[in-house]
Chains A and B, each alone.
Chain A
């Protein structure tokens, strides 16, 4: 843990604080149908035209049921749209590399994953997706799923802020305004800045360059029909192949990466995601990418404070998020810097930390920080391979996801997830003093607590249920006798961690992976796709119901017995609630994965 790392961390926190208030104030205008912004001269006509085409009256608000229906139907239609593009990419345009159509199960998984802001990727982008699939099929979701998330957070905040109101906003207006006034303008500038650092943005076919030092490698021999030749023992026959060129994948990357980070989507253009030198060329591009993950979620806490006319509450929520964030960074950084004792015994310099799966230009600190940020939020972009982290260094991203990604969280998703914990925290505080819990002048009643609990249960149910199923059945782990070798890249506890991480990531709509897992099989694609849908919609619907219920309530005057929702006491209670729920739900599973692996690593066990 170097001095230079601490300085970079201080810079990051300073930059985050710097953008929180201005962006929060801007969000107030964007999320108000009548709000005025400096972009009105350019965007207002396009916004009006969009409403006209949709026959939407921007002045007309919706109740929570109509809002939910619009959101669900819109999500389903966009998912179908992407599924169609992926299945037909071989006959559509912008396919200079002649990529084949994507299989049914992979198309379902990918469409579900991008619709839900997960961006789990069972495929290798540069050898699977045409430019059209990347640009239209996938990139459209980067904007739209992010805009949906922010819209829902706004609807919930309106529900909290309003009283005796039937409506919580208009989905189409929120969606349109967030896209046109927030995401699109920032991305247009941000993407060009990324290009200035070396990120590619072109439409040319892949380049071929001559290698300075050609080399030979062994490849499986294939017959005339392209089938591998097998020897009598059934093993593929290998033959020498001379490699004297390097094929370099190209494409419209920067436009997609800007929204991938700002919208906390995380779906990479290249397989290696933000570790790929084109996708994250310099430490500055890395810094900006990390900042853009947290920028909107952080600003949303300020928006919350303003909307409920209690800025202290906004900052209390921010502080709770920051405390957990800080803890995660320090733990992950510490263990990655400490490295792997088994490697040290082989003669590797302990001072250089665990560099497996990490890039030299980022080093240990920026890799650990990125891993923490991307999983605190539901981003899921990675600039280093989480699978190769030390057990406890890798526990941090896994636990972050399992806590519900409420530490700043995904755009919108982080705030609405955290507000569910706020409702629970207030409820617990009410129980402790034996009063009906109140939250910002509203009585929290059984219906509200039921909805909040439902959200929490979905997370545990989907992650643990699917993981257990994957371990026990013959599709997830073909060797049912406990050797998790097939499908996973690692055996022993780490193999289990790969499975647990996969379902956590998909349910949490994160999208990062312990990427050794070979998830491009019909079974994994189907179950992981379902997990993304559960994790998104089985949470959003009760949250919107909660928004509707809170909006309807009458305001009650606060009294001496009202639990204050600002200040250190509330922050502590909120952090405690988040950690307690997460720990109680996931500790047993975690102890079978990363925790036991930590002790086995120190005992020198290999699998």
Chain B
């Protein structure tokens, strides 16, 4: 019995000691180093617009639906790209709800971009990401949207393609991950916001 009390006492002391070091000192060290070396990133990679208002984060997608903008992937985060409520649809491969939404999205995508019914739609354009905040679309998806955006804005397709290229990330080091076009950065560039 005495041993048990010793262990209880040890457990309480250990919990306190470790909490101070692991939950107090350690995060503060990381906080200090992060704020010192990578302040912009540690604070969320936020983007300032021309008038110095915050307009978004480089890492988080936003909802766009007008013809003059590139459109992001569908999102299941809150009402769409809710960055305080990240989520996927969590619909399974035999879900009727999922198939209905994909069907509607495929039709809409073809209509928006003036595509014929034999053009295959890139999967990322009609499916939701895991986070609901995916900042990227695939290169193929962006390419299919170029004519629409160029026409709406009265720009040449090559001009728009250049901007797409400038806002394409990865693969990192030429090898890691898949390439993706950052939709928010691209649309801000089109608007001349950055």
Binding site for B on A (CB under 8 A): 4, 7-8, 11, 46, 50, 53-56, 66, 69-70, 73-74, 76-78, 81, 124, 126-127, 135-136, 139-140, 143-144, 172, 175-176, 179, 184, 187-188, 191-192, 195-204, 206-213, 215, 217, 219, 241, 243, 246-250, 252, 254-256, 258, 270-272, 275-278, 281-284, 286-287, 339-340, 342-343, 346-364, 366, 382-385, 387-391, 489-490, 492-494, 497-498, 514-516, 597, 600-601, 605-607
Contacts and interface: CB of A to CB of B under 8 A. Distances in A.
B174 to A, nearest CB: 10
A388 B171 CA distance: 24
A248 B83 contact: yes
B34 A347 contact: no
B60 interface: yes
Contact of A255 (B31, B117, B187, B193): B31
A356 B120 contact: no
Which 4 A-B residue pairs are closest in the complex by CB-CB distance? A283-B177, A363-B178, A275-B130, A516-B90
Given A126-B84, A360-B124, A515-B90, A56 B57 contact: no
A355 B55 CA distance: 28
Contact of A175 (B14, B99, B127, B131): B14
Contacts of B127: 343, 355-358
A250 B6 CA distance: 41
A191 B131 CA distance: 21
Nearest to A66: B3
Contact of A212 (B23, B55, B133): B55
B41 interface: yes
Contact of A271 (B17, B86, B89, B135): B86
24 contacts: A53-B13, A55-B6, A70-B7, A199-B41, A209-B55, A211-B56, A212-B69, A212-B188, A252-B27, A255-B31, A270-B131, A271-B87, A277-B57, A277-B133, A278-B60, A284-B172, A342-B93, A346-B103, A359-B129, A360-B137, A361-B136, A385-B89, A391-B93, A489-B92
A341 to B, nearest CB: 9
A356 B41 CA distance: 28
Given A270-B86, A606-B95, A606-B99, A343 B123 contact: yes
Contact of B22 (A8, A140, A201): A140
Given A77-B12, A277-B59, A607-B96, A346 B120 contact: no
Interface of B: 3-4, 6-8, 10-15, 17-19, 21-24, 26-27, 29-31, 33-35, 37-38, 41-47, 49, 53-60, 62-66, 69, 73, 77, 79-96, 98-99, 102-103, 106, 110, 117, 119-124, 126-138, 140, 169-173, 175-178, 180, 184, 187-188, 191, 193
A286 B42 contact: no
Contacts of B77: 272
A346 B122 CA distance: 12
B57 to A, nearest CB: 6
A284 B33 CA distance: 20
Contacts of B45: 198, 281
Given A77-B15, A207-B46, A352-B122, A213 B29 contact: no
Nearest to A347: B106
B92 to A, nearest CB: 4
A213 B92 contact: no
Contacts of A258: 30
Contact of A188 (B7, B29, B187): B29
Nearest to B109: A347
Contacts of A56: 10
B175 A7 contact: yes
B134 A490 contact: no
A213 B65 contact: yes
B134 A70 contact: no
Given A272-B130, A276-B133, A283-B176, A246 B56 contact: yes
B83 A388 contact: no
A389 B86 CA distance: 18
A428 B154 CA distance: 75
B69 A213 contact: yes
Contact of B86 (A73, A255, A272, A607): A272
B37 A213 contact: no
Given A195-B41, A209-B54, A348-B102, A340 B26 contact: no
A494 B53 CA distance: 45
B93 A601 contact: yes
A254 B44 CA distance: 11
